[in-house]
Structure 1
Amino acid sequence: MNQNKRDAWDASFSALVGDGPLQVPGLGVIAYKGGREIYRFAGGFRRLGREPLPMTAASRFRLASVSKMFTVFTLMQLVEAGKVCLDDDVSEYLGFPLRHPAYPGIPLTLRLLAAHLSGLRDGKVYSIPPSVSVRTFFTPGSPYWEGGAHFAPCGQAPGQYFTYCNLNYGLLGTIIEAVTGQRFDVYQKDHILRDLDCHGDYLPGNLEEAEFARLGTVYLKRSPDGRWDERGDWYGTIDDYHGVQPPRDTVRLQNPYAEDVCQSYPLEGYQPGTNATVFSPQGGLRLSLEEMGHTLEMLLHDGIYQGKQVLQPSSLREMFRPQWHYDGANGNTCGRTLFDYGLGEFYVDGTGPARPCRDKAVSLWGHTGQAFGLLSGLFLRPGTKDGFLYVMNGEGLAEDAEPRSAGRFSTNYIWEENVLDRLCRLIDAD
């Protein structure tokens, strides 16, 4: 890319950064074409305050649901090693029988969890204290039973009906612990993250000092008492540590639907295989843009990163194969956004309601992240070696409740729509 084109793209992305309601405090993107990086941009701030810190490619954030990819990467390495099978009954690993009470004859499998076809539901709370077993989600009378809210209503049988459910991934993390005998966060760091030369973590207190210094905060223009003011201040919602690192091996629950249930706990005495929801396998990974680029590079090169076969091509094919396709009645499309889901990845039809580009038909496979005001994504263009990633760390308007938060030509939020449209045009350019 020549300098004139680079300057034009820099100006285009810079316009999305600022203090306005349709802008974001910080934005970072990286784009690949033909298997190699062609462009990167970082603008704005990873942390606001008296001494704002700039957004860079080394800035790391809680990636929200992009983390699901990494949970499935870890799972697929175990499949390749013959330690689990995607169609195993999860009861074999959890240590208690788990069945939907209305469908006791249908085994819940690892595949059904990863593809959101399990018949399980989030309820309000899906991250619970480390001293508690995940069994309590499914035990009548327990504090986390929620009146049976963690099971789908009748008519939505496991294997037949899709509903996006973060609890599925808390259970996958728990199963990974049961199989490996290690804490979910520790095992993933020693395998997938090490393979990808990533220094991220699920626990901010366990980051190396230099890596913690690069941790960014996520913001909303919503005060602690719940009032939105698009002309007001930005308020930190997650990882707002003001430069003071929390203690090691301390976990803070992450429940976006119940922000009052986000207390911190020490992990002393935690038993792996009982409750990995504390680590948020569905959304809690802190990675930098640079490290996300390592991940995209691996995906674009058939599972190879820096000469190492991190995942087999057969595993990637299974992940990027629709395990569910919407037929008009067999699932919840999350506001006409999800129509095909694989294993920790979903397909975006370039001509569908969630199309990423206004005037070009650019289809994608990958995953987005959305929580506490952060918006992220990591996508590749099927049949090519093109792809991109992005992170934004704040929203000035209330999602859904404020009409201006809606995209102009797609079902994506306006902030996502603006970034996706630019990135798709960038990788589609001659």
Structure 2
Amino acid sequence: MEDFGKTEAILANMVGSAVGQVPGLGAFVIKNGQKVFSFCGGNAYLDSKNPSNNRPFTDNSLFRIASVSKQYTVYAIMQLVEQNKLKLDDEAGQYLGFELIHPKFPGDKITIRMLADHTSGLRDGIIYCIPPEYSLKEFFQPDGRFYEDGGHFSSANEPVGQYFCYCNLNYGLLGTVIEAVTNQRFDKYMAEHVLKPLGIDGGYLPANLPPKEFSRLGTLYQKQDEQGNWNDNMPWRGVMDCYTNQQPPHDTVTMQNPYALKDDSAQYTIENYRIGSNATFFAPQGGLRMSLKGLENTLLMLMGKGKLNNKVFLSEKSFNEITNRQWWYHNNNGDTGDGTLLSYGLGLYQIDGESSSRVCRDKCIDLVGHTGQAFGLYAGLFFVPGTRNGFGYIINGIGMSEEDNRSAGRFSGNFVWEETIMNALCAGLYYK
């Protein structure tokens, strides 16, 4: 049996309230298809006024999993491809109810594949999630409420279908395509066809979680006050899903734009939402609430090339589309995010163990998976291609700004929290 004592000590040392520590985290390692290590420490919910109300971080705690969510949206897209209800190279606009045309590249169609691999020529702008009363057209037409002077389109030297730029709005459009094809609300379709088959508790709307699941919903924290000032010495402040015990009214939602100039905390009803008009408020790019246990099941499915518990969730052909490189960096054809994104599949990306995107300092380990980062959360799910080895983790808060020099990784383009936990988990994979 592997000795994970060093890994456990590193993770335990990450938890606390001192500079660089985190309020809570959980992680696991799977080797040869079996879980060989797990750790949970700290708290999923903190009550500074009455610490007796604190809830520990467990493998059942639900968190807004940020961009790890993207793969689940793609799973739904691939299911529809397998059912011949759409094709990856279909023009996205045919499902959205309006022509989706890049003003600088009007002759180049924007396809579903391009949305999924971030070569669409679309950009987030200031915001990429809008209230349910608006149509997606408001992003892309000059008289639109959220046009932002064309801020949702790339510049003329970043052509459609060729230039990679990570864009959350792409996945809001994919969620809307799913609705248009299935005539089901995004959250409901995902619950029935993706989450349930993978044995994942949770969902996209805290307001609609079953009471027992809502009681397990964790909060995301930062040491940043409401004016945006970071302070090493302040207590953890909840910035996402800090509901205490009061669940929001059924079928209500707030917007989820972590980097907007001003976050929209207003509550909207979706009672009269028109399916297929705008799924961005569900946050298909990052709004899934799920647990470490859900990540484990997902990892086992990926290691099974689309199968989980001998049941086919996705075909092997779909698995290959998702995990293989659709785009890769060469001749300055993309924004690599400080060297962390050098190739991308569909909702998952590839890590070359010898590149600037590597997450293991001392060994060359190639990986496929995805990270998540928003509202203080850091998370990741990765496997070693061609093996049944991999890991997952969730961190529910950070105490420093990503722009703070102390947040920079020591040996890669990743942030220090990601480097520390993923390096420890990768090393754990290869303990003798």
Structure 2 length-normalised TM: 0.97
* Cα separation, 2, equivalents of 1:9 and 1:97: 51
Find out whether 1:293 has 2:296 as its counterpart: yes
Look up the SS of the partner of 2:196 in the other structure.
helix
* Cα separation, 1, equivalents of 2:114 and 2:430: 35
**Of 337, 341, 348, which aligns to 2:340?**
337
* Cα separation, 2, equivalents of 1:86 and 1:96: 18
Unaligned runs of 5+ in 1: none
Query: CA offsets per residue over residues 362-403 of structure 1, 9 Å max, x none?
Result: 111110000011000011111211111000011111112x11
Look up the SS of the partner of 1:195 in the other structure.
coil
**Superposition deviation, residue 11 in structure 1:** 2.3
Find out whether 1:363 has 2:361 as its counterpart: no
**Superposition deviation, residue 328 in structure 1:** 3.3
Q: Which residue number in structure 2 is paired with residue 314 of structure 1?
A: 317
Find out whether 1:212 has 2:214 as its counterpart: yes
**Of 175, 180, 198, which aligns to 1:173?**
175
* Cα separation, 2, equivalents of 1:115 and 1:139: 23
Look up the SS of the partner of 1:178 in the other structure.
helix
* Amino acid aligned to 1:284: G
Find out whether 1:352 has 2:350 as its counterpart: no
* Cα separation, 1, equivalents of 2:156 and 2:6: 54
Look up the SS of the partner of 2:77 in the other structure.
helix
* Cα separation, 2, equivalents of 1:40 and 1:303: 24
Confirm or deny: 8 A CA contact 2:255 2:263 kept in the other structure.
Answer: no
Find out whether 1:19 has 2:17 as its counterpart: yes
**Superposition deviation, residue 263 in structure 1:** 2.4
Confirm or deny: 8 A CA contact 2:350 2:369 kept in the other structure.
Answer: yes
* Amino acid aligned to 1:276: A
**Superposition deviation, residue 152 in structure 1:** 0.5
**Of 105, 109, 112, which aligns to 2:111?**
109
Identity %: 49
**Superposition deviation, residue 62 in structure 1:** 0.1
**Superposition deviation, residue 12 in structure 1:** 2.6
Moved >4 Å (runs of 4+): none
**Of 198, 214, 226, which aligns to 1:224?**
226
Unaligned runs of 5+ in 2: none
Q: Which residue number in structure 2 is paired with residue 386 of structure 1?
A: 389
Q: Which residue number in structure 1 is paired with residue 78 of structure 2?
A: 76
Look up the SS of the partner of 1:67 in the other structure.
helix
After the TM superposition, which residues 45-194 of structure 1 pair with which residues of structure 2 at under 5 Å, given as runs? Answer: 45-49=43-47, 50=50, 51-194=53-196
**Superposition deviation, residue 306 in structure 1:** 2.1
Confirm or deny: 8 A CA contact 2:27 2:40 kept in the other structure.
Answer: yes
Q: Which residue number in structure 2 is paired with residue 272 of structure 1?
A: 275
Look up the SS of the partner of 2:40 in the other structure.
strand
Query: CA offsets per residue over residues 203-231 of structure 1, 9 Å max, x none?
Result: 00111111111111000001112221111
Query: CA offsets per residue over residues 393-422 of structure 1, 9 Å max, x none?
Result: 11111112x111011111111111100100
Look up the SS of the partner of 1:254 in the other structure.
coil
- Mean CA deviation greater in 253-262 or 146-155: 253-262
* Cα separation, 2, equivalents of 1:380 and 1:177: 30
**Superposition deviation, residue 124 in structure 1:** 0.5
* Cα separation, 2, equivalents of 1:226 and 1:302: 43
* Amino acid aligned to 1:359: D
**Superposition deviation, residue 6 in structure 1:** 4.1
Look up the SS of the partner of 1:244 in the other structure.
coil
**Superposition deviation, residue 141 in structure 1:** 2.3
**Superposition deviation, residue 172 in structure 1:** 0.2
The size of the alignment, in residue pairs, is 427
Confirm or deny: 8 A CA contact 2:137 2:144 kept in the other structure.
Answer: no
Structure 1 length-normalised TM: 0.98
Q: Which residue number in structure 2 is paired with residue 412 of structure 1?
A: 414
Look up the SS of the partner of 1:13 in the other structure.
helix
Look up the SS of the partner of 1:15 in the other structure.
helix
* Cα separation, 2, equivalents of 1:136 and 1:397: 35
Confirm or deny: 8 A CA contact 2:175 2:280 kept in the other structure.
Answer: yes
Query: CA offsets per residue over residues 229-254 of structure 1, 9 Å max, x none?
Result: 11111101100111211111111110
* Amino acid aligned to 1:421: N
* Amino acid aligned to 2:356: P
* Cα separation, 2, equivalents of 1:9 and 1:173: 38
**Superposition deviation, residue 7 in structure 1:** 4.2
Query: CA offsets per residue over residues 30-66 of structure 1, 9 Å max, x none?
Result: 1111112111111000011122110000011000000
Query: CA offsets per residue over residues 144-176 of structure 1, 9 Å max, x none?
Result: 000000010112111110000000000000000
* Amino acid aligned to 1:108: I
* Cα separation, 1, equivalents of 2:229 and 2:236: 12
* Amino acid aligned to 2:46: L
* Amino acid aligned to 2:351: V
Query: CA offsets per residue over residues 169-188 of structure 1, 9 Å max, x none?
Result: 00000000000001101000
Q: Which residue number in structure 2 is paired with residue 244 of structure 1?
A: 246
* Amino acid aligned to 2:55: L
Query: CA offsets per residue over residues 270-292 of structure 1, 9 Å max, x none?
Result: 01100000100000000011111
**RMSD of aligned C-alpha atoms?**
1.1
* Cα separation, 2, equivalents of 1:21 and 1:335: 24
Find out whether 1:198 has 2:206 as its counterpart: no
Confirm or deny: 8 A CA contact 2:224 2:230 kept in the other structure.
Answer: yes
**Superposition deviation, residue 262 in structure 1:** 3.9
Q: Which residue number in structure 1 is paired with residue 42 of structure 2?
A: 44
* Amino acid aligned to 2:420: N
**Superposition deviation, residue 8 in structure 1:** 4.2
Summarize the Cα distance change of 1:162–1:8 in structure 2 as closer, same or farther, 3 Å threshold. closer
* Cα separation, 2, equivalents of 1:199 and 1:248: 18
